[in-house]
Amino acid sequence: MWSVPSLFDPIELGPRTARNRVVFGPHETNLGRGRSISERHVAYYRRRAAGGAGVVVTEEASVHESDWPYEHAPLGVECGDGWQAVAAACHAEGALVLAALGHAGGQGTSHWSQRELWAPSRVPEVNTREVPKWMEADDIAAVVAGFGAAAEVAVASGCDGVEVNAGQFSLVRQFLSGLTNQRDDEWGGDRTRFAREVLAAVRAALGPDRVLGLRLSCDELAPWAGITPEAAAELAAELCADADLRIDVLTVVRGSIYSVGATRPDGHTPAGFNLDLARTVRDAVNAATDGRVPVVAQGSIVDVDQAEWAVADGVADAVEMTRAQLADADLVAKAVGERRREIRPCVLCNQQCMVRDNRNPIVSCVVDPSTGHETTELERIGVTGTPVDVLVVGGGPAGLEAARVASTRGHRVRLWEQSHRLGGRLGTVSLQPGRERFALFADWLRSECERLGVEIETGRDVTVDEIARSPSGGDVAADGTCIVVATGGRPGVLDATVDAGARVVSAAEALEVGAAGLPEGAVLVWDPIGGPTGVAVAELLVAGGREVHLATQDFIVGNELARAGDLAPANARLAQAGVSMHRRSILRSVAPSHAVLEDRFTGTRSSLDVSAVVDAGHRLPDDELWDALRAAGVPSVVRAGDDVAPRTVMEAVLEGRRAAVDLG
Amino acid sequence: MPEQLIWTPLQLGPVTVRNRIVFSAHLTNYAVDGLPSEQHVAYYAARAAGGAGLIITEEHSTHPTDWPYEKLIHGFHPEVVPGYRRITEAVHRHRVPIFAQINHNGGQASSMYSRLPVWAPSPVADPLFREVPKAVDAAEIAEIVASYGLVARHSAEGGFDGVELQCSHSSIVRGFLSPATNKRTDDYGGPLANRARILIEIVDEVRRAIGPDLALGVRLCGDELIEGGTTIDEAVEVARMVEATGKVDYINTSIGVATASLFMIEASMHIPPGYSMFIPSAIREAVDLPVVGVGRFKDPLQAERALAEGQCDLVGVVRGQIADPDFVAKARAGFTDDTRLCLSCNQECVGRMGLNRWLGCIENPAAGRESEGVGQPRPVAVGRRVLVIGAGPAGLQAALAAARNGHHVTVVERSGAAGGQVRLAATVPNRAEFGDLIRNQLHECGRLGVEFEFGVDVDADEVERRRPDTVVVATGSVPDRPWWAPADAAWIVDVRDVLDGTAQPTGSVLVLDELGFHHATSVAELLADRGCTVEVVSPGMVVGQDLGITLDLENWWIRAESKGIAQSTELVPMGVEGRVLNVQHHPTGAMETREPDWVVLAVPSTPADALFHELRGRGLDVARVGDALAPRRAHAAVIDGERVGAAIPTAQLAPQLASR
């Protein structure tokens, strides 16, 4: 009987067999020490292997000293010990390990190497505008040899194979693409020549019993000169059919020098956006290789259901679920163990896991802040030896996480939420276009708390007296109950003159009521933060038919969105939607029918006819209960989240977790 | 000349400084895992060897809640002490005192690295980090105060001669002092005496920690340059309070808030030297303590003048001593001309700080790499005859680096003057100081005996005829003509054509900025000054985007708006029809047209590397540097030149000589 493969069936990758088809793909972590793989890396990969990943692909290592794209970018020749430790750790947990190898070419930076960039042609790097050196024959030979040498190190370290990057940030792709390869020599006449040379060198170094993977950008989203899906399918089929190269697995990605953000976008791009592309390429590769070379789909695949469908439906043979395994390292174990509902969902926010950033942030995750910090105590939540009664006040992310973890640790937990809805800020965040998945996290927290037996009361107002009465009163504090205050934040105070009758609403309120809930007329969104919120409110209101103005003191709208990869996309969406953007502007006053902006540099004031202003600025802590409890001398009280200081969901979750662990 | 004040020793409490030049505190990003590094040791030692009167290190953080940038020294860890000792011993070898600056940045931070709430007097988000801080309670204030004492003790154990409290431009103490960030209603908020309470408590704590044998300084901000912030009157009041404690030995000064008005703290060449001297002047009138003045002091004469005029008792020279560690020694010896003058370009010092990279210098490739021996002479046994072709920044650096090691260097330059594109860039009035790069290189070449031939255009035959042992090709780059610009459109010219006078645009001018740096903005200002109507168009989100890195963006906007220069972004040229330029707004695809009288291009250029390839083809020992390798900015040219020039090995003796 013909059977449909399952995501959790083993799969042959040439000479090696992976236990399932869930791949933890290569990505920057900033966990490195210098340019080597660190103990933190080992713990990080071991955790995913222990959680059931079939294949772990390590952070890409540069194959040649001419490439130093970010400070802690691993360098192949320095990775031997690290790869060995990663391979040993992951093998012990049953996962295969592939070492990702690459060279960022003209998409690197000269700031660490203090040397010129190397690229096929002199196409400037898009952001830094650095013009690379046009690689000459000996440069090409050196990089090709570097690929071989790095592959040898990977083999000697016990890796199951390597994955050559011809996807994003890749010299190999730059040679393949007409966008970046404008050479008129043999490497331009045949733009695949460099890739073939690299793959041949790597295969020679690997020998016959190691896996050669290729990560290939199959759509550069620039049909005028870039790699198109049609051309990519042909190229992939040709390369995979080459018996000498003997590629064992192909991962389909997209993006070019001009669309870096499209390779791993946030929630503004639908989950599984690459599936059609993967199918196209797989069909061609299958036909050319008689199914010998499995194809891996990549691209915001974060739900097990979608991944299962992709494998069952022949979209791909395996699936990269990288961010999903940052959100829940035990994704595979839970899915296989019929605990699918317990999988903590990736919200596709990119806020903590995108770390190609000058500041070298450590990879982490909004919904699981222990990610990237596996060597610290937070990962070892464990069970308490001294269970206590816990009352959590507030059912936002901090409170729910505190309740969840306290309950996991064996404490007896109650949670009181003032409103009739759990989730707190997660609810309003999920009303933002592109950030709907935050609702899944709220649902998950609630469902986990319920599963763990947390007694939840919504619509439960809390008074200080109730908690803080004298010990004889029999109140919750006096009977030894530990209190976790997680009462969240409240709207900030607009730093502008507000006339009587003027309508100023908070971003949260604007999201709740939508365009229909605001007075008729144009709306000004004042965004002094430049994060996702101001942009989202503007998008929501303009979609609701309003004339929308968005003002910021910055030179750029959404100034802080770069790290998550949404800066250029957000600006494009706003421009396309017709939002009027006022940059370098400071909101000075709001009247019932207009608002006044001041140019930061000239001091010139201008008036906008608007009927309402949305304040997307900073919030304030709602710390009334905390202050009162402290004033009343209540013992055993801790707080977490926005009532400490209003920040993002990550800090709320982290502090909720810490509060629960600190209970003992 | 009478004995100058600059060389008059001064007593800072228990510490004697032998001259009045201070290498004052600044970030370096040299720390590794929160600890001082060998990079620090060699860096400070070089400035001590160069004769600085006093060195004050970068800040040492007092508390785990304070971690605003990755490579911060965590002074609260006892593990810092051995590193402190290595630094202080290296500096003391040159009989120069060194103080540790200790600080908590307060709300001017994020939780990115600490994963802890940021601490500040009030929940007022910082304009740069944009994270709402936790308002500290009384117990936490006491913890902060105690943490200063801890780090002061570490400093004393580490051999420092004093400590300085950074209460000025990025500090929780500043946060308390400033009405803009202190909204408290308790004993630490409201009247100035309350806002200064934490400062006085810290002074008490630190003096108790260090005892009488170490100096204690307090650095105050004289004007925060922000709405509702501290201004000079309050700063003077605070200085009086500090003096009244009787526990402080000197007052240092600064201007601006690092996370709001940094461009006025580390002012680039567009801001006049001495711009912030009103601050030490005012404080000095109010207190008897010695006062340090800072603010773009570039040369010893200017420092002497400030001292003579009574503006301050000591002068902070940071960038001047980054560019030339021997700034003081050269001045003391009377060789002021030898000083490698700072350009105040901010490209590789300030510019690298904001990008989390180690501190360097555009014209001193050894800065930050002292521990690797960069820039040190390594004399060769037998000098080679080195021919450098091209006297731009790359060629000049290659020449002086080679000559430093004993090679015999000749530089040939096609044009009549050295400098290449730097010379052109410096023709724009407010960029003139950039030209000091070339002045400095030429001076050093002259000192090292490099020979120059100007107006000499060599070809490969001529090079061979000269029989050099080694050739360095530094022939620069030539402007590129974009695909859409018709070759015969004389109204479309390159920035270089305008700066060298070949083209003299009048009327309306569109400047295309595809380089994102000074090229477009400089020429736009020049033409606006000449009466042109100027629009700068960029495909990026900001015109001159990297001016933000060098802290020039704010002032560019101020000048551009006053000169009526229009700025249009996210536009890409799509073609020319007659005299009409079609541009596309790429986020929306909308087409627009422009009909300027002139278009000036600031676009990537093409290496002039034909000579290099020909020489290599003929088998000569040849290297290329700077734009001839890949067209980049001036710092890259200098780095290339230094690397290649310093690496030229000794000449091989001819066989018949060697066999004797």
**Which of residues 149 through 178 in chain A touch B, CB cutoff 8 A?**
none
Q: Which residues on chain A are in Cβ contact (under 8 Å) with B630? A: 116-117, 122, 131-134
Does B463 share its domain with B518?
A: no
Nearest to B250 by CA among B161, B338, B186: B161
pLDDT digits (tens, 9 = 90+) for A394-431: 999 999 999 999 999 999 999 999 999 999 999 999 99
pLDDT digits (tens, 9 = 90+) for A614-634: 999 999 999 999 999 999 888
Rounded average pLDDT over B490-506: 97
Q: What is the pLDDT of residue A464?
A: 85
Q: What is the pLDDT of residue A471?
A: 46
Query: For residue B367, is it within any domain?
Result: no
Amino acid at B237: E
From B363's Cα to the closest Cα of chain A, the distance in A is: 14
From A129's Cα to the closest Cα of chain B, the distance in A is: 6
Any CB–CB contact under 8 A between A111 and chain B?
yes
Burial of residue A189 (number of CB atoms within 10 Å: 0-12, 13-18, 19+): exposed
pLDDT digits (tens, 9 = 90+) for B598-622: 999 999 999 999 999 999 999 999 9
Q: Which residues on chain A are in Cβ contact (under 8 Å) with B558? A: 601-602
Confidence of residue A2 (pLDDT cuts 50, 70, 90): low
CB atoms within 10 A of CB A17: 12
pLDDT digits (tens, 9 = 90+) for B439-481: 999 999 999 999 999 999 999 999 999 999 999 999 999 999 9
pLDDT digits (tens, 9 = 90+) for B46-74: 999 999 999 999 999 999 999 999 999 99
Does the pLDDT at position B179 exceed 80? yes
Test mutation, B115, B483, B552, chain A, max A CBs within 10 A:
B115
How far is B204 from B449, CA to CA, in rounded Å? 57
Query: For residue B549, is it within any domain?
Result: yes
Between A116, A124, A556, which is nearest B542 by CB? A556
> Greater confidence, A242 or A470?
A242
Does the pLDDT at position A259 exceed 50? yes
Q: What is the pLDDT of residue A474?
A: 55
Interchain CB distance below 8 Å, B118 and A124: no
Does B341 share its domain with B402?
A: no
Q: Which residues on chain B are in Cβ contact (under 8 Å) with A555? A: 541-542, 548, 553
CB atoms within 10 A of CB A209: 11
CB atoms within 10 A of CB A417: 25
pLDDT digits (tens, 9 = 90+) for A104-160: 999 999 999 999 999 999 999 999 999 999 999 999 999 999 999 999 999 999 999
Rounded average pLDDT over B352-373: 96
Nearest to A381 by CA among A664, A649, A651: A664
Among candidate residues B350, B371, B405, the one where a domain is terminated: B350
Does B198 share its domain with B87?
A: yes
Does B217 share its domain with B107?
A: yes
Burial of residue B143 (number of CB atoms within 10 Å: 0-12, 13-18, 19+): middle
**What percent of chain B has pLDDT above 90?**
97
Query: For residue B374, is it within any domain?
Result: no
Confidence of residue B245 (pLDDT cuts 50, 70, 90): very high
Does B599 share its domain with B611?
A: no
Does B583 share its domain with B641?
A: no
Closest Cα in chain A to B228: A495
Does B434 share its domain with B538?
A: no
Between B123, B546, B631, which is nearest A621 by CB? B123
**Mean pLDDT for chain A overall:** 96
Distant-in-sequence, close-in-space partners of A154: CB < 8 Å, separation ≥ 6:
A76, A79, A83, A99, A101, A161, A162
Does B636 share its domain with B579?
A: no
Amino acid at A277: L
Does B255 share its domain with B173?
A: yes
Interchain CB distance below 8 Å, B630 and A133: yes
Q: What is the pLDDT of residue B657?
A: 57
Interchain CB distance below 8 Å, A571 and B516: no
Q: CATH 3.50.50.60: which residues of chain A?
A: 497-615
Distant-in-sequence, close-in-space partners of A99: CB < 8 Å, separation ≥ 6:
A57, A58, A61, A79, A83, A150, A151, A154, A157, A159, A161, A162, A163
Q: Which residues on chain B are in Cβ contact (under 8 Å) with A618? A: 123, 125, 130, 132
Nearest to A581 by CA among A657, A525, A504, A501: A525
* Helix and strand totals (H; E) in chain A: 20, 28
Could you tell me the CATH number of the domain that includes residue B391?
Answer: 3.40.50.720
Any CB–CB contact under 8 A between A71 and chain B?
yes
> Greater confidence, B496 or A2?
B496
Residue with tokens 């090691």: B405
Q: Which residues on chain A are in Cβ contact (under 8 Å) with B561? A: 599, 601-602
pLDDT digits (tens, 9 = 90+) for A541-598: 999 999 999 999 999 999 999 999 999 999 999 999 999 999 999 999 999 999 999 9
Nearest to A285 by CA among A296, A274, A275: A296
Could you tell me the CATH number of the domain that includes residue B153?
Answer: 3.20.20.70
Angle of helix A397-408 relative to helix A438-451, nearest 10 degrees?
30
Rounded average pLDDT over B385-399: 98
Does B163 share its domain with B265?
A: yes
Query: For residue B542, is it within any domain?
Result: yes
Residue with tokens 């007022």: B124
Closest Cα in chain A to B477: A131
Query: For residue B345, is it within any domain?
Result: yes
Could you write out the DSSP letters of every residue in A564-620? TT-HHHHHHHHHHHT-EEE-SEEEEEE-SSEEEEEETTT--EEEEE-SEEEE-S--E
- Reading the block at residue B654, the tokens are 């001819």
Between B132, B561, B629, which is nearest A646 by CB? B132
Q: Which structural domain range is residue B632 located in? A: 385-479+607-658
Among candidate residues B603, B634, B649, the one where a domain is terminated: B603
- Reading the block at residue A307, the tokens are 């991944």
Give, in order, the Cα–Cα distances in Å from B18 to each of A84, B21, B48, B55, B328: 56, 9, 12, 12, 11
**Domain A11-377 class, CATH top level:** alpha beta
Test mutation, B30, B130, B567, chain A, max A CBs within 10 A:
B130
Q: How many CB pairs under 8 A join A and B?
A: 120
Q: CATH 3.20.20.70: which residues of chain A?
A: 11-377
Does the pLDDT at position B162 exceed 50? yes
Could you tell me the CATH number of the domain that includes residue B499?
Answer: 3.50.50.60
One CATH from 3.40.50.1820, 3.50.50.60, 3.40.250.10, 3.20.20.140 for A497-615: 3.50.50.60
Does the pLDDT at position B1 exceed 50? no
Longest pairwise C-alpha distance within chain A: 90
How far is B507 from B402, CA to CA, in rounded Å? 48
pLDDT digits (tens, 9 = 90+) for B187-242: 999 999 999 999 999 999 999 999 999 999 999 999 999 999 999 999 999 999 99
* Total tally of structural domains belonging to chain B: 3
Is the domain covering A384-488+622-662 a CATH 3.40.50.720 domain?
yes
Does B217 share its domain with B338?
A: yes
Q: Are A618 and A646 in contact (CB under 8 A)?
A: yes
Rounded average pLDDT over A96-108: 98
Distant-in-sequence, close-in-space partners of A290: CB < 8 Å, separation ≥ 6:
none
Q: Are A211 and A98 in contact (CB under 8 A)?
A: yes
pLDDT digits (tens, 9 = 90+) for A495-548: 999 999 999 999 999 999 999 999 999 999 999 999 999 999 999 999 999 999
Distance of CA B124 to the CA centre of its chain: 30
Q: CATH 3.40.50.720: which residues of chain A?
A: 384-488+622-662
Rounded average pLDDT over B385-389: 98
Cα angle for residues A201, A104, B627 (degrees, 5° grid) = 110
How far is B515 from B535, CA to CA, in rounded Å? 16
Does the pLDDT at position B654 exceed 80? no
Between B516, B630, B639, which is nearest A132 by CB? B630
Confidence of residue A258 (pLDDT cuts 50, 70, 90): very high
Between A360, A568, A576, which is nearest B70 by CB? A360
From B116's Cα to the closest Cα of chain A, the distance in A is: 8
